[in-house]
Amino acid sequence: MQFRPLPAASFETDIGENEITFYSENGYLSVPRVTTDEELAWLREVYDQLLAMAPTGYLDGIFDLSRPYGTTDVPKLGQLLLPERLVPQIRQTVFWRNAHRIASRLLGVTPTKVESWGHLIFKGADSPAETPWHQDEAYWDPTQEYSELSIWIPLQAATLENGCMQFVPGTHRQEVLPHHPIGNDPRIIGLEVDDPERLTAGAVACPIPAGGATVHHSRMLHYTSPNRSDGPRRAYILTFGTPRRQRAVPRRFYWQEQQQTKWQERHEAAKAVREKSGGM
Ligand code: NI
Residue at 9 is within a domain: no
Number of independent structural domains in the chain? 1
Cα(170) to centroid(ligand 1), Å: 16
Q: What is the pTM of this model?
A: 0.92
Cα(157) to centroid(ligand 1), Å: 19
Q: Is 115 exposed, middle or buried (0-12, 13-18, 19+ CB in 10 A)?
A: middle
- Identify the pLDDT of residue 259: 74
Cα(261) to centroid(ligand 1), Å: 23
Q: Are 70 and 88 in contact (CB under 8 A)?
A: no
- Identify the pLDDT of residue 280: 45
Cα(98) to centroid(ligand 1), Å: 20
Residue at 161 is within a domain: yes
Beta-bridge partners for 63: 79
Q: Are 79 and 67 in contact (CB under 8 A)?
A: no
Give the pLDDT confidence of 95-134 residue by residue, as tens digits.
Answer: 999 999 999 999 999 999 999 999 999 988 888 889 999 9
Cα(134) to centroid(ligand 1), Å: 6
Cα(217)–Cα(206) distance, integer angstroms: 15
Query: Which CATH number goes with the domain that contains 146?
Result: 2.60.120.620
Cα(13) to centroid(ligand 1), Å: 24
- Identify the pLDDT of residue 242: 97
Q: Are 255 and 181 in contact (CB under 8 A)?
A: yes
**Considering only CA atoms, which of 245, 272, 279 is closest in space to residue 118?**
279
Q: Which amino acid is at 125?
A: A
Q: Which domain holds residue 69?
A: 17-276
- Identify the pLDDT of residue 223: 97
Residue at 78 is within a domain: yes
Residue at 262 is within a domain: yes
Cα(222) to centroid(ligand 1), Å: 6
Neighbouring residues of the ion ligand 1, judged by CB less than 5 Å? 136
Cα(4) to centroid(ligand 1), Å: 30
Residue at 62 is within a domain: yes
Residue range 26-50: mean pLDDT, rounded: 96
Cα(5) to centroid(ligand 1), Å: 30
Q: Are 111 and 194 in contact (CB under 8 A)?
A: no
Cα(150) to centroid(ligand 1), Å: 8
Cα(167) to centroid(ligand 1), Å: 11
